[in-house]
Amino acid sequence: MLVCMASNQQTRPAIGELAKDSATGRIGVVMGEIGGRVQLRPVRGGKEWEALPGDVLSPSAREELSTRLAMRNSDSHVPL
């Protein structure tokens, strides 16, 4: 009898994807990996920060939707 088990292991987000730094709770865009650390950039731009690879996870569906909605809303504000 062959039994298949689902893996509980998450893959780390790739370059250009949204990621959550679980150590800080911040969500950013993966920019790369240097010296054993993952570089993340805030979604609206700004200074990158580094995170340990084990702390970088895919955001939950709710976190990703909230982040994308906030980005879209801020893009729609046009000064009068």
Question: In this predicted structure, what is the pLDDT of residue 78?
Answer: 60
Question: In this predicted structure, what is the pLDDT of residue 63?
Answer: 95
CA angle 65, 19, 67 (to 5 degrees): 25
Give the whole-angstrom CA distance, residue 6 versus residue 66. 28
Give the whole-angstrom CA distance, residue 22 versus residue 54. 9
Question: In this predicted structure, what is the pLDDT of residue 75?
Answer: 74
Q: Where are the domains of the chain?
A: 18-75
pLDDT tens-digit series, residues 7-65: 445 678 999 999 999 999 999 999 999 999 999 999 988 999 999 999 999 999 999 99
pTM for the full predicted model:
0.77
Question: In this predicted structure, what is the pLDDT of residue 74?
Answer: 78
**Residue 12 in contact with residue 53, Cβ under 8 Å?**
yes
